[in-house]
Chain A
Amino acid sequence: MTAVAAPPRARAGAVEAALRSWLARRLLLGVAQTAAVVLLVFALTEALPGDAAVALAGDQPDPARIAAIRTELGLDRPAAERFADWLLGLLHGDLGTSLASGRPVATYLADGFGPTLLLAAITVVLLVPAGVGLGVLAARRAGSLADRLVSSATLAVYAVPEFALGVLLATLFALRLGWLPPTAVGFGGDLLAHPAVLVLPVLVLLSRPVCSISRLVRAGMIDALRSPYVRQATRYGLSTARVRYLHALPNALAPAAQQLARTVDWLLCGVIVVEALFVIPGLGTVLMNAVAERDVPVVQGLAVVFGVIAVVLNLGADLVARRLAPRAGVAA
């Protein structure tokens, strides 16, 4: 990804024009990236052993039945033809219908998006203050007790796989202590009405990003606090808090913002482990089932959505990074 550096001492209009052209190129690149992802997904699902007919036949692989399913689903047509059909539909905003159930792919996405979005939103809302706060706390005095505590704790939690952490938390807080429900089974689409079921999944989702973001913030802060411009600001007699939060922190946040975008992307694209463990029927579950069933239209629909989300989020993160630390924009 390339970005244009703002020319030194340019007039505001020129800066804006450069930004707009940068945006346009980024968007175009995003569209191309999404198209590439979709094409790749189609090619890869074609390359997988077996198709929807084989998956649907399951343990009764009667060849005549598989052939009948194949004809019924139109899988006997050439791959290029099916792909072209699908693209044509996509241009009309039609994501196609599922091979396994015959229902529109759009309903799959709509059903799965709600729970995933809810989880992602809550996680991000908690993640930003927690990650930044811990990072700042650790960076205030590098090597202090607080720093060592935060650093070792974040490193330790980061090393635990989500599945293990999820099982551990569910066993402890749900089954042993009985404080929280162990799964969201049966609550499906209505998670907000039962907020208690969200606690454990959000904790698991938070665990790793909090660690990575706080460590990034800490490192960025420490670098910034040692930099000449912060020392200069201190010499001018500005208060420590002002120097720390208005001068050092923004520089430390730029890399964290990009990490945050990646995290949101990861959250939105369905966090498969957490959804499976706590029975939350989000996009990750939809994806898992669709791949197992070789339900290509659903997989393609998800690929488009994931592609668009990734592109938009990264674009947003780059914009934020440019604002926070204009000089870093060169590298974005």
Chain B
Amino acid sequence: MTELPSSRPTRREPGDLPGLRRRGFLAASAGVTAAAGLVLAGCGTAPGPSDTGGSPRRGGRLRAAFAGGGASETLDPHLGNLFADAARAKALYDKLADCGTDMAARPRLAAKWEPNDTLDRWRITLRKAAFHDGRPVTAEDVLYSYRRITDPKKAYRAKASLEPIDLAASRAVSPDTVEFRLKRPTAEFPNVLAAFGAYIIPKGTTTADFARPVGSGPFRFVSFAPGRSCVVKRNDAYWDGAPHLDELEFVVANEESARVNALLGGQVEYAHELNPTTARAHEGKGQIEIVRLRNSAMQSFAMKTDRAPFDDKRVREAFFLIADRKELLDGALSGAGEIGNDLFGKGYEYYAGDLPQRHQDLDRARHLLKQAGAEDLRITLDTSPVAAGFTEAAGIFRDQAAKAGVTVQVRSGSKDSYWSDILDHGTLCCYRSGAMPIESHISQRLLSDSTTNATKWHHKDFDALYQQAQSTKDKKERAAVYGRMQRRLHAEGGFLVWGFADWIVGTSRRVRGVAHDAPANTLDWARFDKVWLA
């Protein structure tokens, strides 16, 4: 069985298409046609309507500004943590699979994947691809890369994601076939192949080799100055078709105002991560294009379900009902996003979109709190300037809670250690998450043995449902199990998901082919091999 990407179109509102809004129908439909051309060229990926204007033109250098990691940046794709790292790694390397717009895994270096009947042995067939030095990408390279990532003495980012694989028992059947043995049935194994940072490097690569990195990606390495710039050039032999651009330069500008100014001043053609206010100021003015990557970041409050007062599910429900999601979205994110329904992954594969949208209901919230004996509740809400909108959201929620008789005290913590601080401490905190498959969200955060379980959601029957889903080969049946798990989370879970933030990218008017519907960190996000300069 090959799990091909579902062909069902993602639901969207007409207003979701900035290109359509601005350019009129004819131009937009031409763009869709051009995008469809790209789809055929691009091995069955399904980028949505792109801001395309005419047919791709070859040549030119595109400069892209990202917030970076300063002088300590490396080109080791297994070490990456930041969007800048991910974008550079994507230009130079490939993964076996990557996430589509709906977070379902799409084949990349893996041409196909077939599980056995018990879903604990997967056979991966590699496509014909070559590294930049001409060596073919083989099964041995895959095993070498995965062994490096899971080195017990090291702490590479994708290590936890690759945990289901029994690498000692996995082997190369032939140069283009890998057989992975898994520790347990894993129906969603392709998600593992698409994990953040699970890049394939040539066998024998050592840390020192990343001074001149060799990958199989669409661009070849030219130069790198940590914290400043990284230049790459077109890989004409790329298996997915050579990029249109001659050269691509990643530059680092940590201040948002610097990124905007560089874009407005023509110093860069692509600026990642702009503020909603900046976007509003320039949207439709004709100077630059604003691209809103929908659904890129879940915004929520995390309630620790193992301690008072949230060990009582009536209190959790009351908090769900206290939140005025629209007000939070408008106040904390300047309206750049859409409201949430206390579930992760709106619009992604397996998302329980049939559940009714929850609205503010202060009377019922007060009633529930009274029932739970939690009138005049006082609680501390942890927040930090670690992410856009966090401190604003905390302030707004404090005022909303006051209307239900709950006194919220906002406590602001250090942004450098926030994520680690809130994991075990406190009872209520601001929380956000980037895009990932719903299955990964569950396995990383909601199982008894999950490593980053910020809501302390420990339920044996919930774990069992997850195992059941992972052992279910039939996709429809599996979706039903995910549906049950999400209904439970919606009714009494610990994540008060109030919204999904857009990730905002600014581009020069010459830039074409930027996908509009790719959440940050998915396949079509920062995909410069499909971009061209008009």
| CB within 8 Å of A: which B55-102 residues | 63, 65, 69-74, 81
A11 to B63, CA, bound (A): 68
Among B71, B72, B152, B451, chain A packs the most CB atoms within 10 A around the CB of B71
Contact status of A68 and B155, CB under 8 A, knowing A50-B420, A276-B255: yes
A245 to B245, CA, bound (A): 62
Residues of A within 8 A of B399 (CB): none
Of the stretches B167-175, B186-194, B226-234, the one at the interface is B226-234
Cβ of B329 to closest chain A Cβ, rounded Å: 21
B160 touches A49 (CB 8 A): no
B71 touches A183 (CB 8 A): no
Judge if A175 is at the interface, Cβ distance under 8 Å.
yes
Contact status of A289 and B451, CB under 8 A, knowing A101-B72, A101-B73: no
Of the stretches B263-271, B353-361, B526-534, the one at the interface is B263-271
| CB within 8 Å of B: which A101-132 residues | 101-103, 108, 111-112
A182 touches B264 (CB 8 A): yes
| CB within 8 Å of B: which A260-293 residues | 276-279, 281, 285-286, 288-290, 292-293
Residues of B within 8 A of A50 (CB): 414, 416-417, 420-421
B417 touches A186 (CB 8 A): no
B452 touches A62 (CB 8 A): yes
B452 touches A60 (CB 8 A): yes
A171 to B278, CA, bound (A): 14
A189 touches B227 (CB 8 A): no
Judge if B377 is at the interface, Cβ distance under 8 Å.
no
A174 touches B265 (CB 8 A): yes
Judge if A74 is at the interface, Cβ distance under 8 Å.
no
Residues of B within 8 A of A186 (CB): 63, 228-229, 249, 251, 267-268
A285 touches B227 (CB 8 A): yes
Judge if B225 is at the interface, Cβ distance under 8 Å.
yes
Judge if A167 is at the interface, Cβ distance under 8 Å.
yes
Judge if B238 is at the interface, Cβ distance under 8 Å.
no
Judge if B30 is at the interface, Cβ distance under 8 Å.
no
| CB within 8 Å of A: which B479-523 residues | none
B157 touches A170 (CB 8 A): no
A185 touches B420 (CB 8 A): no
B71 touches A101 (CB 8 A): yes
A60 touches B419 (CB 8 A): yes
Judge if A31 is at the interface, Cβ distance under 8 Å.
no
Residues of B within 8 A of A68 (CB): 152-155
B257 touches A62 (CB 8 A): no
B265 touches A175 (CB 8 A): yes
A108 to B262, CA, bound (A): 25
Judge if B253 is at the interface, Cβ distance under 8 Å.
yes
B70 touches A63 (CB 8 A): no
A58 touches B154 (CB 8 A): no
Residues of A within 8 A of B69 (CB): 100, 289, 293
Cβ of B443 to closest chain A Cβ, rounded Å: 12
A112 to B225, CA, bound (A): 12
A64 touches B451 (CB 8 A): yes
Residue of A nearest to B196 (CB): A60
Residues of B within 8 A of A286 (CB): 70-71, 227
Residues of B within 8 A of A285 (CB): 70-71, 227, 254
Residues of A within 8 A of B228 (CB): 186, 188-189, 281
Judge if A55 is at the interface, Cβ distance under 8 Å.
yes
Cβ of A50 to closest chain B Cβ, rounded Å: 3
Q: From B71, B226, B267, give the contact of A185 (CB < 8 A).
A: B267
A113 to B228, CA, bound (A): 14
Q: From B81, B155, B265, give the contact of A183 (CB < 8 A).
A: B265
A183 touches B262 (CB 8 A): yes
Cβ of A233 to closest chain B Cβ, rounded Å: 53
Cβ of A74 to closest chain B Cβ, rounded Å: 13
Residue of B nearest to A278 (CB): B258
A289 touches B267 (CB 8 A): no
A54 to B419, CA, bound (A): 8
B257 touches A185 (CB 8 A): no
Residue of A nearest to B431 (CB): A59
A279 touches B417 (CB 8 A): no
A111 touches B267 (CB 8 A): no
Judge if B423 is at the interface, Cβ distance under 8 Å.
yes
Residues of A within 8 A of B423 (CB): 61, 63
A65 to B70, CA, bound (A): 22
Judge if A57 is at the interface, Cβ distance under 8 Å.
yes
Residues of A within 8 A of B264 (CB): 175, 182
A279 touches B253 (CB 8 A): yes
Residues of B within 8 A of A278 (CB): 258
Residues of B within 8 A of A66 (CB): 155, 420
Cβ of A206 to closest chain B Cβ, rounded Å: 20
A170 to B264, CA, bound (A): 11
B451 touches A72 (CB 8 A): no
A63 to B421, CA, bound (A): 11
Cβ of B411 to closest chain A Cβ, rounded Å: 13
A286 to B387, CA, bound (A): 22
A103 to B71, CA, bound (A): 9
**Interface positions of A (Cβ within 8 A of B):** 48-50, 54-66, 68-69, 72, 98, 100-103, 108, 111-112, 167, 170-171, 174-175, 178, 181-183, 185-186, 188-189, 276-279, 281, 285-286, 288-290, 292-295, 298
Task: List 16 A-B residue pairs with CB atoms under 8 Å apart, sorted by A's residue number.
Answer: A50-B421, A56-B155, A60-B452, A66-B155, A72-B153, A98-B71, A101-B73, A103-B226, A108-B71, A182-B264, A183-B265, A185-B253, A185-B262, A186-B251, A281-B228, A286-B227
**Interface positions of B (Cβ within 8 A of A):** 63, 65, 69-74, 81, 152-155, 157, 159-160, 207, 225-229, 249, 251-255, 257-258, 261-262, 264-265, 267-268, 413-414, 416-417, 419-421, 423, 432-434, 451-452
Q: A60-B419, A185-B262, A285-B71 are in contact. List 5 more A-B contacts (CB 8 A).
A: A54-B420, A59-B419, A186-B251, A279-B252, A289-B71
A-B CB proximity, top 4 nearest:
A50-B417, A289-B70, A100-B72, A188-B228
